Amino acid sequence: MLLDRRSFAVGSAALLSGCATVGPRTLAGCTPLPRVDVDPSRVIRTVAGLRPYRRSGFVVRAEALGDKRLVHNYGHGGAGITLSWGTSKLATELGLPGHSGPVAVLGSGVVGLSTARLVQEAGFPVTIYAAALPPDTTSNIAGGQFHPFALYREDSITPAWKAQFLRALEYSWRRFQIMVGDDYGIRWLPTYDEGDTPDLYLPDYPPINQVLSPPQFPFALAHAVRYDTMYAETGRYLRQMIRDVEVAGGKIEVRRFATPADIATLPERLVFNCTGLGSRELFGDMDLHPARGQLAILLPQPEIRYAYMGSAGYMFPRADGIVLGGTFELDEWDTTPDPKMIAGILASHKRFYDSFRCTA
């Protein structure tokens, strides 16, 4: 199933395939954009990853584990890059006050690395323990858009969780802004999203956020929302985050924990659990489900300086390739890309770019 991110964020799984289209191809009244060249011969890799999805949203809470304090920070669905700094900030606010001595972080995806950095910034020594390191994490697969997507269902969350979400989003939003540049592989892009109502999450997010009509874009659509946001080239971003942890004296140990009793053997008295989907088995959280997403990555096209999301799926242009995706398959555990679904992603994007009314 192909999903557009906006309809999912408000709890609907509906496709936008019924979007109204307008007239034949014409150069009049059309603001051009370059087309993505979608062709199977341009595919450089395909991947499938499992989003750690909970209908009721991520978990940030503290509990006792024997004589240790354990702070959970997992279940970010399709928004783990987006919310990484923010939920890690909430988690460290729960865990660090009153603590002295070294700290353990379980997990070396984007959430574990952000938590480790905040622990270091607060002056504590940190060791990351993780079964797998980048590039072998779900975080490496992420498209890298800063936007809350496929993260919760509106009918399953509480006001208290919503308040956590907005605080996390706000902290992340500010934190990513000061990381823009080549070292972390983060840049701003205008994003065109099929739809006619802009979502506003924070007073200043997303910026621009306006409904456009046909003279303002080349798509064969009646309207589209444009907002601006940041995009991370996730491989580069995570590499740099690991360097940051190490430069600040952090240690990284490859280790898998089978049960909470394994965690109890660690020397650290404060432990942050950032194991993503691993928390299902490790802590028996059966509300946590895999939501598989598949991507086809095309040869880079540096002239593409906009992102798109809608009924065709999504397109995020990155230095390491054009990322085409947008599928969401709940409770699918297989991380092998399915050739049929990949062909479907390519076909829907090809139709979309072929339908441009004018091109740059």
* Residue ranges binding ligand FAD (CB under 6 A): 49, 51-52, 74, 76-82, 106-112, 130-132, 137-139, 141-145, 256-257, 274-278, 282, 293, 295, 325
User: Among residues 30 and 43, whose Cβ is nearest to ligand FAD?
Assistant: 43
User: Among residues 101 and 135, whose Cβ is nearest to ligand FAD?
Assistant: 135
Q: What angle do CA 148, 150, 152 make, to 5 degrees?
A: 90
Phi, psi of 174 (to 5 degrees): -75, -40
| CB of residue 57 to ligand FAD, shortest distance in Å | 12
| CB of residue 26 to ligand FAD, shortest distance in Å | 33
| CB of residue 197 to ligand FAD, shortest distance in Å | 21
Helix axes 80-95, 110-121, angle to 10 degrees: 40
Are 322 and 304 within 8 A, CB to CB?
yes
| CB of residue 84 to ligand FAD, shortest distance in Å | 7
User: Among residues 218 and 278, whose Cβ is nearest to ligand FAD?
Assistant: 278
User: Among residues 30 and 81, whose Cβ is nearest to ligand FAD?
Assistant: 81
Are 347 and 70 within 8 A, CB to CB?
no
| CB of residue 14 to ligand FAD, shortest distance in Å | 20
Q: DSSP of 231-245, one letter per residue? A: EE-HHHHHHHHHHHH
| CB of residue 144 to ligand FAD, shortest distance in Å | 5
User: Among residues 57 and 77, whose Cβ is nearest to ligand FAD?
Assistant: 77
314-349: burial string, b at 16+ Cβ within 10 Å, e else: bbbbbeebbbbbbbbbeebeeeebbeebbebbbebb
User: Among residues 216 and 260, whose Cβ is nearest to ligand FAD?
Assistant: 260
| CB of residue 182 to ligand FAD, shortest distance in Å | 19
User: Among residues 143 and 195, whose Cβ is nearest to ligand FAD?
Assistant: 143
Phi, psi of 256 (to 5 degrees): -105, 140
Q: For the beta carbon of residue 237, count every other beta carbon within 10 angstroms.
A: 24
Are 282 and 275 within 8 A, CB to CB?
yes
| Residue listed under structure tokens 């702070």 | 71
